[in-house]
Chain A
Amino acid sequence: MSEAARPIRIALVGNPNTGKTSLFNALTGARQKVANYPGVTVERKEGAAVTPAGRPVRILDLPGTYSLRARSPDEVVTRDVVLGRLNGEAAPEILVCVADATNLRLVLRLALELKQVGRPLVLALNMFDIAERQGIRIDLEGLSRALGIPIVTTVAVRKRGLDTLLAQVDALAGQAQGAAAQPLAWREPSATELRQAHRDAERILRDHVKPPLRPDTWTGRMDGLLLHPVAGTIILFAILFLMFQAVFTWATPAMDLIDAGFTALGDLVKETLPEGLLQSFLADGVIAGVGSVLVFLPQILILFFFIIFLEDFGYMARAAFLMDRMMGVAGLHGRAFIPLLSSFACAIPGIMSARVIDNKRDRLTTILVAPLTTCSARIPVYTLVIAAFIPDRTVWGFASLQGLVMFGLYAVGISSALIVAFVIRRLIWRSASDPFLIELPSYKLPDLKNVLRGVLTRGQIFLTRAGTTIFAMMVLIWVLATFPAPPPGAVGPAIDYSFAGMIGHAMLPVLAPIGFSWEMAVALVPGMAAREVAVGALGTVYSIAGENEAGLVATLAAKWSMASALAFLAWYVFAPQCLSTLAVVKRETNGWFWPFVMFAYMTALAYVAAFATFRIAQAVFG
């Protein structure tokens, strides 16, 4: 292979909020791959580009950091990749330090630290147009001389400066070959060295960068409102309200469409294939199983649209500021706010986004309580039971009783998440919470293309999970609910004779004290695939043809007592009825210990709650 054809590997490193990902998107366009680093679950984003000299380049986008002294799992990846310490990942040959040209102070120190690594380094001053508009005068030549590294200016969202940056890669390619043979040099700076580096950076900044003639005043003005203790909190809740409205109402048509699509596909399989195992596997196992998870895709996409938009806008750091004290009461970190918020759609993206939390205990606590917030998979179960047992009546002149019960279930979910976090953080892991120390970035109008690309990446990750772990779980559940087949001439639903039926019957002695009948117990087993599958499973055990909701509501109303129904609801508030969540926790924590802890504590809570609900309801309703 000729030397020019061998791709040169470069890595983008920089502070958070410097437009690093926009630059990555601009450089690589659609030629990017998102995967996980082996062993850790930090996203690895790699893309390809070609330099003006025709040299292929592989570009790695690394998580944002202020220093190579890593604190969160994200930052550990940045450090290990830069230093070539990550298994299966050769150290990049050229480092590109990406800076927000309007906010150079901290990044200059990072650049000095990166220089010590001993690889060719380029400083890319991104968002250079904003710096020009603000009248920040940067003496590029002087700055480059003082730092001892080449500098290029870029405007990632306008695709400006990309060729200059890539030409710089060509210029450094020869040097990179020489440097690649050298061992990488870096060690953790002490506080004294940090001070010295700050002083150096400060001096360089003073000598070569003149403060803005027209400073950004609207960030200050907006913060006057958005960070205001009262007005800011009200605005935050208004944004959250809008977000939930969007997630739950805008997503409905798309969800209905996906649901109808999978139902039609299942019906088609049932019509075309002869009745038998293959038909059942495809229709009830694969299509119904994958469909029941894919149906959440629209909600996840909308949720991430909001999250990424607000993040790029600079608002998420403000939300963490406003919520830190409230979360702190429960022993949670301000940053736990975003994972818990995501969990209202689905605990899986919620648990995945807990990576932004630096401290291991804070992060684990957040992961452990995330599934207690009411995810949208509980809604079908809640709706069904509420429709069957709660009278459709208006109370206090304006509120619907059914709506109130639904609201109550949400309130119990979120308060139990906070109480459990409190117990973990204040009673079990009694240590001071990690310092809350964050930069509040300047507000910037998000670039819609970058936001959409981020949303698509999230969707792709979710689909990969659905296609692998979740799919495997679905197949397992199908096997349990299908084998062994009922004996010839058997009466009653086939599921009653299967492993799922056996498990349900075996659990009955344990579940009877909380008011569950064997039908309910059997429905819990396939309900492990995803909570809302329990609705279909109840239909199966009561031999309701198809998924006739009205029929099921009437059947339940006739067959269950009020106390059993309420106990079932209480069970669903707490029970870990979702193998996919447990599988994701296993991935995020690298082992089975934490999923096991989660399963045990949630089951215990569910049992106690259902038991208490059943006994109290029996006393009240007779």
Chain B
Amino acid sequence: MRLSDLGRGDRGVVRGIDTHGHADAAELGHEELERRLLEIGFVEGAHFQVLQEGLIGRDPMALKLDDMRVALRRREAGAILVDVTAEAAAEASP
């Protein structure tokens, strides 16, 4: 499951980054996109909850990511693999 498939209120754990087939990756390079996502905190094991979504196309999305808040477009969220199973959600709840 990818972060881009989620909606407001969903919570889970980041499992990895997969930039293959991602539109921005062609422009930036897979490694660059991956590093940018890592630098802002989308690292394996990070807990998140989707806080809000934008007005048009539910884009961009605002998340609580561990103890900080970040915003990103659904497009970039498509490169983030997540786990939203009950155990992961329980782990991510405050």
Contacts and interface: CB of A to CB of B under 8 A. Distances in A.
Our verdict on whether A and B bind, yes or no, reads yes
Interface of A: 66-67, 69, 71, 103, 105-106, 109, 189-191, 194-195, 198-199, 202, 211, 219-220, 223-224, 227-230, 232-233, 317, 320-322, 324-326, 328-329, 334, 431-432, 434-442
A71 B33 CA distance: 12
Interface in B33-51: 33-41, 43-45, 51
A106 B41 contact: yes
Contact of A229 (B45, B53, B73): B53
A105 B66 contact: yes
A326 B39 CA distance: 26
A228 B52 contact: yes
Contacts of A194: 35, 38-39
Contact of B71 (A103, A189, A195, A321): A321
Contacts of B36: 71, 435, 437
B83 interface: no
A436 B60 contact: yes
Interface residues of B, number: 40
Given A190-B31, A326-B56, A435-B76, A103 B70 contact: no
A105 B44 contact: no
B44 to A, nearest CB: 7
A322 B35 contact: no
B71 A317 contact: yes
Contact of B52 (A227, A325, A329, A334): A227
13 contacts: A105-B41, A202-B43, A224-B51, A229-B52, A229-B54, A230-B55, A325-B54, A434-B28, A435-B36, A435-B76, A436-B76, A438-B70, A439-B70
A519 B67 CA distance: 65
The 7 residue pairs across chains A and B that have the minimum distance between CB atoms: A440-B69, A229-B55, A227-B52, A325-B56, A198-B43, A321-B71, A194-B38
Contacts of A436: 60, 71-73, 76
A431 B68 contact: no
Given A191-B34, A228-B52, A435-B24, A321 B62 contact: yes
A444 B78 CA distance: 32
Contact of A325 (B26, B41, B55, B68): B55
Contacts of A109: 39
B23 interface: yes
Contacts of B35: 69, 189-191, 194
A106 B39 contact: yes
B27 interface: yes
A244 to B, nearest CB: 22
Contacts of B23: 432
Given A325-B59, A436-B73, 5 more contacts: A69-B39, A190-B31, A191-B35, A435-B28, A438-B71
Given A230-B55, A435-B24, A211 B73 contact: no
A394 B36 CA distance: 55
B11 to A, nearest CB: 14
B69 A195 contact: no
B56 A66 contact: no
Given A106-B40, A437-B40, A440-B62, A223 B69 contact: yes
A223 B62 contact: yes
A438 B41 CA distance: 11
B57 interface: yes
Residue among B31, B52, B76 with max Cβ neighbours from chain A (10 Å) = B52
A103 B68 contact: yes
Given A228-B52, A233-B55, A439-B40, A103 B72 contact: no
A105 B41 CA distance: 8
Contacts of A105: 41, 66-68
B47 to A, nearest CB: 12
Contacts of B37: 437
Given A191-B35, A191-B38, A324-B60, A437 B70 contact: yes
Contacts of A442: 69
Given A439-B68, A439-B69, A440-B69, A432 B24 contact: yes
Nearest to B19: A191
A321 B60 contact: yes
Nearest to B94: A215
A233 B60 CA distance: 13
Contact of B72 (A69, A106, A191, A437): A437
Given A69-B35, A324-B73, A103 B67 contact: yes
Nearest to A439: B70
B55 A440 contact: no
A230 B39 CA distance: 31
B67 A437 contact: no
A431 B25 CA distance: 11
Contacts of A435: 24, 28, 33, 36, 72-73, 75-76
Contacts of B45: 202
Contacts of B40: 66, 106, 437-439
A440 B57 contact: no
A194 B28 CA distance: 17
Contact of B68 (A106, A190, A326): A106
B66 A440 contact: no
Contacts of A190: 31, 35
A324 B54 contact: yes
A439 B53 CA distance: 15
A195 B38 contact: yes
Residue among A69, A229, A230, A431 with max Cβ neighbours from chain B (10 Å) = A229
